[in-house]
């Protein structure tokens, strides 16, 4: 029997052979070792014409038409996974960076904050030099730099000095006072007294536009001392002798191998009174008091914050945040000010610096002050 195109149907054995060839050829061409056709050929198989042609047999064999299969692009999936990994890495970097900022310095304020009050800490014995803060000493270089930065920042409208110091070197106080007065040409400076702000620490407080203390803060101690050490009895007992060749009578003044002569004692009194007068002048100018009134209070005694208010050495009682509010008002800030902490002691010194080691390094650095052959002048 023949079709209309006069092509005979193949016999049944031949038909079976054709089916077998179609099946094997489809698998052999497409599968590989897995038995599954690759993507490009599989797509052609599913989306091609409904007839499969066996060229060897020259026969058209009709098969069922399959619906196209939707597949995700492997390249698109890789890009998506890459973006996810990138987001995760960026998130971890933000967390780590924030943690490091919190540990090593605390969070600052944003540059666009235009109503800032800068708080500068003065903690510990005041000395000149650049020893890092947080080791029990307040160095004039670090504090002066912080005051300069705050004074030159147009976004800072006022400065608060947070003081916890028993005093120290008059020279260190004078360096800090110089920067306070420069800053006051641009913006107000307010002092907040903590536990103690006495002697040289009151020296730097006096020029401030406003002084706030706690009722039991210790302040005052207006005065100057010059200390000398006499170890001559010890050296004599140990059989240690000294020979000193000197160019002038006072050149070895303060040497601990002997006591001061009468002339040296008189001269030391003159030096102390000279330094004391500068202290008195600063207090009188800063507190708008007469020289005689200041000297009446300046016998070296300390005063509580409450008593200091009565004597005119302090303006009012309050804590650090009261001082910030006063500074904001004096600086013309309306509403709640933004507070920036210029040199706040950081956790890095607590976490990564041993107290004993840091103290040893500090004492070595300050040997020029504590082991001076000329004694120590302290306010």
Distance between CA 311 and CA 299 in Å, rounded? 14
Residues 252 and 156 in one domain: yes
Neighbour count for residue 201 (Cβ, 10 Å): 31
Angle subtended by helix axes 39-47 and 12-30, to nearest 10 = 140
Give yes or no: 187 in active site: no
In a shared domain, residues 48 and 144: no
Identify each DSSP E strand in 224-337 by its residue range.
Answer: 225-227, 302-304, 316-317
Residues 215 and 336 in one domain: yes
The Cβ of residue 223 has, within 10 Å, a number of other Cβ atoms equal to: 19
Same domain, 94 and 191: no
Closest by CA to 139, choosing from 366, 371, 370, is: 366
Q: Which residue has the tokens 């052979």?
A: 17
Does residue 330 fall inside a structural domain?
A: yes
Range of the domain at 16: 12-62
**Marked catalytic residue, from 199, 268, 340, 346:** 199
In a domain, 308, yes or no: yes
| Number of C-beta neighbours around residue 80 at 10 A | 11
Successive 10-residue mean pLDDT values, the chain, 379 residues: 47 56 51 48 44 46 50 62 82 74 49 84 88 75 95 96 94 97 97 96 98 96 93 91 92 91 95 96 97 96 96 97 97 93 65 46 57 62
Residue 6: inside a domain = no
The Cα-based distances of 354 to 110, 126, 135, 195, 358 in angstroms read 33, 22, 10, 25, 6
* Same domain membership, residue 84 and residue 19: no
Whether residues 37 and 95 fall in one domain: no
Distance CA 359, CA 371 (A): 16
4 in any annotated domain: no
Which DSSP letter does residue 222 get?
A: -
CB neighbour class for 103 (10 Å; exposed up to 12, middle 13-18, buried from 19): middle
Q: What is the largest CA-CA distance in the chain?
A: 149
- 199 annotated active-site: yes
Q: Is position 254 within any domain?
A: yes
Question: Angle CA(201)–CA(203)–CA(206) in degrees, nearest 5?
Answer: 110
357: left (phi over 0), alpha (psi -120 to 50) or beta: alpha
So what's the pLDDT on residue 33? 45
Do 210 and 122 lie in a common domain? yes
94 and 49 both lie in a single domain? no
Q: Are 317 and 212 in contact (CB under 8 A)?
A: yes
99, 169: one domain:
no
Q: Is residue 2 part of a domain?
A: no
Q: What is the pTM of this model?
A: 0.68
- Residue of 123, 141, 97, 171 lying closest to 341 (CA atoms): 123
Contact (Cβ atoms closer than 8 angstroms) between residue 124 and residue 359? no
CA separation for the pair 325, 238 (Å, rounded): 61
- CATH number of the domain that residue 301 is part of: 3.90.226.10
Whole-number Å distance between alpha carbons of 232 and 349: 41
pLDDT score for 5: 47
On the 0-12 / 13-18 / 19+ scale of CB atoms within 10 A, 219 is buried
Closest CA to 258 of 274, 238, 235: 235
First CA to last CA distance, the chain = 129
Active-site pick, 246, 251, 265, 371:
251
- As given in the structure block, the two tokens for residue 309 are 């208010």
**297 lies in the same domain as 233:** yes
Does 164 lie in the same domain as 27?
A: no
User: Does 5 fall in a domain?
Assistant: no
Residue 286 φ then ψ, to 5°: -70, -35
| H or E element that contains 378 | strand 376-378
Residue 7 included in any domain? no
**What SS3 state is found at 124?**
coil
Q: How many domains does the chain have?
A: 3
């Amino acid at each position: 029997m023949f079709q209309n195109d006069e092509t005979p149907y193949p016999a049944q054995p031949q038909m079976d052979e054709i089916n077998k060839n179609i099946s094997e050829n489809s698998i052999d061409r497409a599968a590989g070792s897995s038995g599954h056709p690759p993507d490009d050929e599989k797509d052609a198989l599913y989306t091609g014409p409904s007839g499969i042609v066996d060229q060897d047999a020259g026969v058209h064999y009709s098969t069922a038409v399959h619906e196209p299969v939707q597949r995700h692009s492997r390249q698109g999936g890789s890009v998506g996974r890459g973006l996810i990994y990138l987001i995760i890495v960026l998130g971890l970097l933000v967390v780590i960076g924030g943690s490091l900022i919190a540990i090593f310095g605390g969070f600052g304020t944003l540059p666009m904050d235009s109503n800032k009050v800068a708080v500068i800490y003065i903690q510990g014995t005041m000395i000149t030099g650049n020893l890092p803060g947080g080791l029990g000493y307040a160095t004039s270089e670090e504090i002066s730099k912080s005051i300069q930065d705050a004074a030159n920042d147009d976004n800072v409208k006022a400065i608060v000095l947070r003081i916890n110091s028993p005093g120290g070197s008059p020279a260190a106080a004078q360096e800090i006072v110089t920067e306070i007065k420069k800053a006051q040409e641009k913006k107000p400076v307010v002092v907040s007294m903590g536990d103690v702000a006495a002697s040289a620490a009151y020296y730097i407080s006096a020029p401030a536009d406003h002084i706030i203390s706690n009722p039991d803060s210790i302040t005052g101690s207006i005065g100057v001392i010059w200390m000398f050490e006499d170890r001559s009895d010890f050296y004599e007992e140990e059989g240690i002798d000294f020979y000193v060749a000197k160019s002038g009578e006072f050149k070895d003044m303060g040497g601990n191998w002997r006591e001061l002569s009468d002339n040296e004692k008189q001269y030391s009194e003159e030096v102390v009174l000279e330094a004391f007068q500068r202290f008195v002048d600063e207090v009188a100018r800063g507190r708008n008091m007469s020289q005689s009134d200041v000297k009446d209070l300046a016998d070296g005694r300390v005063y509580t914050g409450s008593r200091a208010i009565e004597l005119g050495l302090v303006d009012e009682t309050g804590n650090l945040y009261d001082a910030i509010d006063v500074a904001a008002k004096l600086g013309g800030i309306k509403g709640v000010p933004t507070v920036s902490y210029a040199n706040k002691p950081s956790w890095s010194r607590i976490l990564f610096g041993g107290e004993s080691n840091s103290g040893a390094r500090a004492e070595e650095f300050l040997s020029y002050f504590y082991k001076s052959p000329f004694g120590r002048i302290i306010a």
